[in-house]
C-alpha cells in the first residue's frame, strides 16, 4: 500500500527579507511598534470569513483610474501596471481581490489628511480594485504618481510609489505592500523602502519597465509580480 508523501516544508523568509516593526529612521514606527509580547486573540467568524466579492463592483470601471466615472481624463503620464499574484511555488492565485491607491501626478492624495501644497486633480481619485483572473493576473491603467514631502526629517521626500492591498478569502488574510519605479533617485534615502535590510528583497519592491506591456504613443508599462510567502516573498508592511 502506497503512503502519502510527506508535505513539502514551508520555506520561511530569511532574516532581513521583511521589514521590522521598529525601524527608527522611519519616525512613526517609533510610536506604533509594539513594545510588549503579542497577545493571541482567537479567531471568530469575523476573521475567518471575508467580503462577498460577487457582483459588478470590481470591473473595468475600477481598473481604469484615468477616467473615473467616464468623465474628464486625469492629468499626468499614463502607465499600465500589471503582474501576477503568486504563491511560494510560483503558482498563480486566482480570484483574489487586489486593491491599489496612490497620489496624483502632483504628489497629492485625495484625502482630508493630505495638506501638501500641490493641486488636486478633479478627474483622479487614486483608487482601483479588481479580482485576479484564472492565471492570477491583474492589470490597471493609471497615472504615474509624483513624489511628495512627508516631514519624516528635514526635506524628506517619498519616492513615487503605489500601495497594494491583497485579500484572501478572509478578512484576517489582508496583506499590504508598496511598488516603486526603477531608477528613482529618492529610493536611496527613503526609510520605508530601506526598512527591508536585505538588498535583494528590497529589489522585489521595484517594478520592471516592460516594453511589451506598453501601448505605443499612449502609456508606459510596468510589471510587478507579487509573491505572498516563502523565500521569494514580496516584502509586506508589518
Catalytic residue list: 109, 148, 158, 161, 163
Indicate left, alpha or beta for 16 from its phi (over 0: left) and psi (-120 to 50: alpha).
left
Could you tell me if 53 and 131 are in contact, meaning their C-beta atoms sit under 8 angstroms apart? yes
Could you tell me if 96 and 131 are in contact, meaning their C-beta atoms sit under 8 angstroms apart? yes
* Torsion angle (degrees, nearest 10) of CA 104, 177, 93, 17: 150
The residues with which 175 forms a beta bridge, in sequence order, are: 166
81 closest CA partner among 188, 228, 229, 224: 224
Could you tell me if 131 and 97 are in contact, meaning their C-beta atoms sit under 8 angstroms apart? yes
| Cα–Cα distance for residue pair 19/193, rounded to 1 Å | 9
Amino acid at each position: 500500500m502506497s503512503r502519502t508523501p510527506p508535505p513539502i516544508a514551508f520555506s520561511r523568509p530569511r532574516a532581513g527579507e521583511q521589514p521590522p516593526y521598529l525601524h527608527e529612521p522611519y519616525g512613526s514606527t517609533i510610536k506604533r511598534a509594539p513594545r510588549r509580547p503579542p497577545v493571541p486573540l482567537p479567531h471568530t467568524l469575523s476573521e475567518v470569513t471575508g467580503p462577498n466579492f460577487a457582483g459588478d463592483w470590481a470591473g473595468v470601471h475600477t481598473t481604469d483610474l484615468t477616467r473615473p466615472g467616464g468623465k474628464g481624463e486625469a492629468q499626468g503620464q499614463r502607465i499600465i501596471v500589471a503582474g501576477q499574484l503568486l504563491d511560494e511555488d510560483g503558482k498563480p492565485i486566482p480570484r483574489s481581490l487586489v486593491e491599489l491607491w496612490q497620489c496624483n501626478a502632483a504628489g497629492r492624495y485625495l484625502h482630508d489628511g493630505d495638506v501638501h501644497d500641490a493641486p488636486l486633480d478633479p478627474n483622479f481619485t487614486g483608487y482601483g480594485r479588481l479580482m485576479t483572473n484564472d492565471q492570477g493576473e491583474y492589470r490597471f491603467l493609471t497615472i504615474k504618481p509624483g513624489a511628495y514631502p512627508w516631514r519624516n526629517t528635514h526635506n524628506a521626500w517619498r519616492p513615487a510609489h503605489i500601495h497594494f492591498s491583497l485579500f484572501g478569502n478572509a478578512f484576517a488574510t489582508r496583506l499590504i505592500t508598496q511598488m516603486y519605479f526603477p531608477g528613482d533617485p529618492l529610493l536611496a534615502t527613503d526609510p520605508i523602502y530601506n526598512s527591508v535590510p536585505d538588498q535583494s528583497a528590497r529589489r522585489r519592491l521595484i517594478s520592471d519597465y516592460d516594453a511589451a506591456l506598453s501601448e505605443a504613443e499612449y502609456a508606459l508599462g510596468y510589471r510587478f509580480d507579487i509573491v505572498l510567502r516563502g523565500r521569494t516573498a514580496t516584502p509586506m508592511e508589518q
